Amino acid sequence: APGMQQPLPPYEVLPAEVSMEELPRSTTVLLEEPPVPPRDHLVWSIFTTLYGNFCCLGLLALVFAVKSRDRKVLGDYSGARSYGSTAKYLNITAWVINIIIVIIVVTVIALITAGVISSINN
Q: How far apart are CA 57 and CA 69, in angstroms?
A: 18
The 10s digit of each residue's pLDDT in 49-60 is 999 888 899 999
Residue 6 banded pLDDT, cuts 50, 70, 90: low
pTM for the structure as a whole: 0.65
pLDDT at 70 over 90: yes
Average pLDDT over residues 97-106: 95
Q: What are phi and psi of 59, to 5 degrees?
A: -65, -40
pLDDT of residue 66: 97
pLDDT of residue 4: 65
pLDDT of residue 79: 95
Domain map of the chain by residue range?
40-71, 86-121
Task: Show Cβ contacts of residue 98 under 8 Å, excluding neighbours closer than 6 positions.
Answer: 52, 54
